[in-house]
Amino acid sequence: MKRVAVAGFFHESNTFATTPTTYADFEQVSLTFGKELIDRWSGGNHEISGFLQWAKENNEIEIVPLLAAFAMPSGTIVAETFESIANQMEKALRESLPLDGLYLALHGATVSKDFPDADGEIAKRMRQIVGPDIPTVMTLDLHANVSTKMVENTDATMIYRSNPHLDQKDRGLEAGELMGRTLKNEIRPVQAVEYPPLIINIAKQYTDELPAKGLYDDLQSVLEWPGILSASVAMGFSYSDVEEMGATFLAVADNDPELARKAARWMAQRAWDNREEFQVNLPKADEAVSMAIQAIEAPIVLLDIGDNVGGGGPGDSTVVLEQIVKQNASNALVVLFDPEAVNACVKAGVRNGVSIEVGAKTDERHGTPVSISGVVRLISDGIFVEPEVRHGGWGSFDQGITAVVETSEKNTVILTSTKMCPVSLEQIKSLGIKPETKKILVAKGVIAPRAAYNPVAGRTILVDTPGATCANPESFEYQNRRSSLFPLESDVLYEVE
């Protein structure tokens, strides 16, 4: 039996978000050790689930589960938390030796106080323990800012190809397949990475539509090249102020570094040639709400880009709600993270009136608290289950004690005690609300909500709101990024020889 260790460390770190990420944030979402990891992740849609499924179907592999840590996207991870999780992972790996292979499920945009390239640091430490000859396969999120340190400390990298992320399990299966063939000495994976000086705007990262779809058409054609084992595009995460921030192209070839390099460069050059297509000009909140009120279709889904919970937004921005109130919109639905307001509703009790200030309590950058008056329609435990494949690969969710307020203006405000990325309509439906009957649905995200919201959306409008996940990279003061990046610098050159 070949022994393959599995470890996961998952955090999308928004270095512009004000709330740091602590150990408790991982405990709250998912932190599993040893066999717990297998129990937690078997049968799901995550890449770890895919890798475990591959191992199960391949009787020659024994999985050695180490640790898997997940936290909601938020600010930089505090130094002690990173060290604690990394040290536990390293210790578990040391105790598991000897091994035949190592699978690392990482995010690629994880930043800790001491390590801007936290994923690269994890890969380096783990590689040092197993040694350079043990095949090490890594999967990353499509929003990775891929570093050379990550790539130098692994043999093959696979990145999600779908945004919203619906192919995570497939990437885990692919990682398993590649591991299996490597362990049988059928192949010898080598990889190359290419960095065009390009930011792909978050609003142009929807893989079902051009221009993003074109990147994946190119990727598919690279997969046809003889000798290519895998190919990936990382669209990057512009809310991490790190040196590697930006788009990355990666290819894995069979014992042919030059072929891998050629494939990565070919994809990068084609993306660069289309660079103008990856930039945006979107309506602000006032214009978007006005468009929604006047629209014939319903519901209109307003995607609140500046408060993208899946990108580290606080989940309590009132910028769109302020406009809904100001422009007298009705039959709108807004979800806000606001434990204080939930408590006030619990105190008032179901069927009773409340007058409360909601939202904008995390910081000063996401609007100001909005006064609402209405009736508490429901208090819920906030637990819901999503049966379909949705962004993130999760099936069960907990948004904490949740209150539903029907306001005097006939709008619905859902108040949650835990931040929740709007990847599942069950977040709303489990509260007895029919989203398809609403005129306006506000979702705090950009691409992640679409798999859930597209089936009910009459139309979807991307809204250029301010905040920790603002669409415009020019609104951030970067200290650490590469000095030349389009479109932040317009006179950037990129020539591949």
Under the rule (CB under 5 A), what is the footprint of Zn ion? 141, 143
Closest contact distance (angstroms) between CB of 143 and Zn ion is 4
φ, ψ (nearest 5 deg) of residue 158 = -125, 135
Closest CB to Zn ion among 120 and 236?
236
Closest CB to Zn ion among 219 and 325?
219
Closest CB to Zn ion among 12 and 174?
12
DSSP letter for each residue of 363-429: -SSS---EEEEEEEEEEE--EEE--S--TTS--EEE--SEEEEEETTS-EEEEESS------THHHH
Closest CB to Zn ion among 143 and 390?
143
Closest contact distance (angstroms) between CB of 448 and Zn ion is 7
Closest contact distance (angstroms) between CB of 161 and Zn ion is 12
Using an 8 Å Cβ cutoff, are 190 and 252 in contact? yes
What are the angstrom distances between the C-alpha of 277 and each of 110, 231, 405? Answer: 27, 22, 41
Using an 8 Å Cβ cutoff, are 474 and 368 in contact? no
Closest CB to Zn ion among 11 and 143?
143
Dihedral angle, C-alpha 389, 160, 281, 485, nearest 10 °: 160
Closest contact distance (angstroms) between CB of 467 and Zn ion is 18
Q: Rounded to whole angstroms, how far apart are CA atoms 196 and 269?
A: 7
Q: What is the rounded end-to-end Cα distance, in angstroms, of the chain? A: 45
Closest CB to Zn ion among 165 and 261?
165
Using an 8 Å Cβ cutoff, are 65 and 37 in contact? yes
Closest CB to Zn ion among 4 and 389?
389
Closest CB to Zn ion among 76 and 168?
168
Taking alpha carbons only, the member of 134, 140, 124, 4 closest to residue 61 is 4
Taking alpha carbons only, the member of 115, 122, 113, 19 closest to residue 72 is 19
Closest contact distance (angstroms) between CB of 10 and Zn ion is 10
Closest CB to Zn ion among 127 and 204?
204
Using an 8 Å Cβ cutoff, are 3 and 96 in contact? yes
Q: Rounded to whole angstroms, how far apart are CA atoms 326 and 189?
A: 58
Closest contact distance (angstroms) between CB of 347 and Zn ion is 38
Using an 8 Å Cβ cutoff, are 105 and 51 in contact? yes
Closest contact distance (angstroms) between CB of 206 and Zn ion is 12
Closest CB to Zn ion among 413 and 448?
448
Closest contact distance (angstroms) between CB of 444 and Zn ion is 15
Residues paired with residue 159 on neighbouring β-strands, in sequence order: 140
Closest contact distance (angstroms) between CB of 38 and Zn ion is 24
Tokens matching residue 314:
């606080």
Closest contact distance (angstroms) between CB of 236 and Zn ion is 10
What helix, strand, coil percent values describe the chain, rounded to 5? 30, 25, 45
Closest contact distance (angstroms) between CB of 46 and Zn ion is 13
Closest CB to Zn ion among 143 and 169?
143
Contacts of 130 (CB under 8 A, 6+ apart): 5, 93, 97, 99, 102, 136
- Give me the residue whose beta carbon is nearest to Zn ion: 143
Q: Rounded to whole angstroms, how far apart are CA atoms 155 and 229?
A: 12
